[in-house]
Homo-oligomer: A and B are copies of this chain.
Amino acid sequence: MVDEPRSVEPARAVETRPVGRPLDDRRLAVLRAIVQDYVGTEEPVGSKALVERHSLGVSPATVRNDMAALEEEGFIQQPHTSAGRIPTDKGYRLFVDRLAEVKPMSSPERRAIRHFLEGAVDLDDVVARTVRLLAQLTRQVAVVQYPSLTRSTVRHIELVQLTPAKVMLVLITNTGRVEQRLVDCPGAVGDTVLADLRAKLNARAGGRPLPEVPVALEDLPAAFEPAERATVSTVLATLFETLAEQNEERIMLAGTANLTRFGHDFPLTIQPVLEALEEQVVLLRLLGETADAAMTVRIGHENAYEGLNSTSVVSVGYGSGDQSVAKLGVIGPTRMDYPGTMGAVRAVARYVGQILAES
């Protein structure tokens, strides 16, 4: 699937086109102009239209030569003879790597983002607002992952007795996430044991990163009377299970209606995308491929999942403080406004991080 290299290879270009400098500045400018125009108009762009709109300082004929060169190197492509050119995945790659600047949000936009996110009342609401905001800003499909359990720490563990042998285990993390789980104990559980267990759990695990919790509690049963150890072990087992279920990482979606603006050849493009969006697993893997800190852009075939071969994914990690606890991003057609999208994604990620840090 991933047949497009992530970086440019000027070496090969030299080899096949011994004309001198293989990608001089003007050619890059032409590519940039093509990408920009195509993104704007959705139509193949020809040499004449290009010089008219971009004051390149040369004639259409010259541009044609440059275009021929760019095509030979695989950056652009003709849908049919004697139509304009459209960028290839490789062309977009070069564009985002070398030709585009992330477009910063305007300050009214930033205020609006901040204001909108600040209204949130709890974690669910933060995520819900974030995803809607992102969809609206980029006019594309937005995806936000809930802050993962892996990077969180324990704020509190609570045990609630429901029936003599049934206990509800509630785990609260520093990111505000709450997980609950029913525990069926082997026998009736005494009040004092429960209180003791609760206290010890919090004393040992409180404040710790979740992955460390099992280690910290490993020998906890030893601190109890032999008769109570079965109960303690059962509770611990359930707790560890909950921790281990990073699989159950949740994801929120918004903006699927924007898919209708996708292109002309409708059902064909949109169907696999809708299918992908329904599969949490696919989305999680998609976001999983995001480098933690830096913004990641995957263009067309660079996406491992086949159904997304004609889409690009822009994603980035976000988090309270400096380390990222989860990821978010948008999915759109390969012909999308990369600078703008990247700007929006970056800004939103930054502000969600702040909001999380504050709460």
- Give me the interface of A with B, judged by CB distance under 8 Å: 122, 155-156, 158, 160, 162, 168, 170, 172, 178, 180-182, 254-257, 259-260, 266-267, 270-271, 274-275, 277-278
Contacts and interface: CB of A to CB of B under 8 A. Distances in A.
A194 to B, nearest CB: 12
Contacts of A257: 271, 274-275, 277-278
Contacts of A180: 170, 172, 178
B170 A158 contact: yes
8 closest cross-chain pairs (CB), A and B: A257-B274, A260-B271, A257-B275, A158-B160, A260-B267, A266-B266, A178-B180, A256-B274
A130 to B, nearest CB: 15
Given A257-B271, A257-B278, 6 more contacts: A156-B160, A168-B172, A172-B180, A255-B278, A256-B256, A266-B266
Contact of A160 (B172, B260, B271): B172
Contacts of A254: 278
B168 A156 contact: yes
18 contacts: A122-B182, A156-B162, A156-B168, A160-B170, A160-B172, A178-B178, A178-B180, A254-B278, A255-B278, A256-B256, A256-B277, A257-B271, A257-B274, A257-B278, A260-B267, A260-B270, A260-B271, A266-B266
Nearest to A177: B180
Contacts of A181: 122
A103 to B, nearest CB: 26
A277 B180 CA distance: 29
Contact of A274 (B160, B182, B259): B259
A90 B98 CA distance: 60
A122 B245 CA distance: 14
Nearest to A270: B260
A178 B259 CA distance: 34
A270 B277 CA distance: 16
A95 to B, nearest CB: 28
Nearest to A271: B260
Nearest to A202: B160
